[in-house]
Amino acid sequence: MTAFVLPRIDARVPPMVTPAPTVAANSAISKFLLDAGAFSPSDIPPVWSDSVDACERALARWVNREIGPLHCLTPVFSLNVLRRGDGYYDAPSSPGDVEALEMDWREGDIHQWPLGAGLDTLNRQTRGLGVIVLHVLDRQSRMAYPLFTPAVAHEMASMLYWCGEDDEEAALDMSCEEGDEAAREEMRAEMVTAALVKSASPAWVHDWPRGLTLPTCARHLRRALKTLADPAARRIAETALALSQLHLVHDFQPECEGDSIAFGAVLSWREDDVTVRVYDDMLEMAWQGEFCEIMGTARFGIDNPESFGQWQRDMKTRFQAIGLIDRLIHSLSA
């Protein structure tokens, strides 16, 4: 019996044939990133067939190295190519078509993290410590990597259910006939009310003490560190202190239409409390129209590789904040 041997393709043969103009355009993009010093040679994969894909993988390694190990957040950075005249596209047809590169970032795998028990433990260790830590987390995440906190849930509930008011009374007035108390109570029982949102967590979660600025938080945290004996509580206080001292700028805002649903995590007080319901309702409403999942965007002219290097330098503080935010979530939810 004759044995047939299938032909083998030499490993040097590329698995896909790419048109020469596209190869030239990809080379222009790769040259831009190399001229910018976007990554070190060790970040480049040892084997690759597409230069742009290899650059994206190298950039991902650079991002991971800058942020450090993460437990709760999964930031995803995407490199997009813009064609002269009409915006985004996947496959450049010639080097002259490439006008700019754009980097955007978003959360890749959002999860819920209940923090109530951890914050209560901090408050028992040192009065008000949990208040300070959550305020720093809420305040700095809005600038660096937005989180859906109980405070954000309260703000979102106002827009989703209460016509922008502090409670549901205006919405009930619009939906029920005057004097029909039975209809009002029936509707109230089925909707997310202000009382339901506020009862999910302590009052201080929604109403921060006056004058609670980041420098004030830093002073409280330094004072707490002088007396804290518990190692876990000390680590949380040290992390919150480091986060509170970062100077974060609200830049690189995405230019996209629709409702923003760009959050890195859902922080509830307890497992599956009303914060999660508000978040789910927000998503359902956003999905019915235009929405935006992008947290940030930066654009670079193809003839200005120095701008990419400047963006990388500008992102260092944000990357540091993302790492500290992740560390706080992980410690508080443990």
The residue written with tokens 């951890």 in the block is: 118
Q: Which residue has better confidence, 8 or 252?
A: 252
d(CA 179, CA 169): 13
The dihedral formed by the CA atoms of 189, 195, 197 and 203, expressed in degrees to the nearest 10: -170
Which of helix, strand or coil describes residue 46?
A: coil
pLDDT over 90 (residue 28): no
Using a pLDDT cut of 90, give the percent of the chain over it: 53
Q: Which residue has better confidence, 187 or 41?
A: 187
Taking the alpha carbons of 113, 116, 121, 125 in that order, is the dihedral positive or negative?
Answer: positive
- What per-residue confidence (pLDDT) applies to 13? 58
Q: 260: exposed, middle or buried (C-beta count within 10 Å: 0-12, 13-18, 19+)? A: middle
pLDDT digits (tens, 9 = 90+) for 96-131: 677 889 999 999 999 999 999 999 999 999 999 999
Lowest mean pLDDT among 27-31, 86-90, 156-160, 180-184: 86-90
17: left (phi over 0), alpha (psi -120 to 50) or beta: beta
pLDDT over 90 (residue 143): yes
pLDDT over 70 (residue 156): yes
> At 107, which amino acid appears?
E
Mean pLDDT of the chain: 87
Q: Which residue has better confidence, 231 or 200?
A: 231
Band (pLDDT 50/70/90 cuts) for residue 3 is low
Model-level pTM? 0.86
d(CA 107, CA 23): 31
pLDDT over 60 (residue 20): no
d(CA 81, CA 89): 6
- What per-residue confidence (pLDDT) applies to 9? 62
Q: Where are the domains of the chain?
A: 112-292
- What per-residue confidence (pLDDT) applies to 89? 46
- What per-residue confidence (pLDDT) applies to 87? 55
**Phi and psi dihedrals of 161, rounded to 5?**
-120, -30
Band (pLDDT 50/70/90 cuts) for residue 19 is low
> At 59, which amino acid appears?
L
- What per-residue confidence (pLDDT) applies to 290? 87
- What per-residue confidence (pLDDT) applies to 41? 82
Band (pLDDT 50/70/90 cuts) for residue 12 is low
pLDDT over 50 (residue 273): yes
pLDDT over 80 (residue 313): yes
Collect contacts of 16-24 with beta carbons under 8 A, ≥24 apart.
16/49, 16/50, 18/50, 19/93, 21/92, 21/93, 21/94, 21/95, 22/91, 22/92, 22/93, 24/94, 24/95
Q: Which residue has better confidence, 248 or 43?
A: 248
- Measure CA 61 to chain center: 18
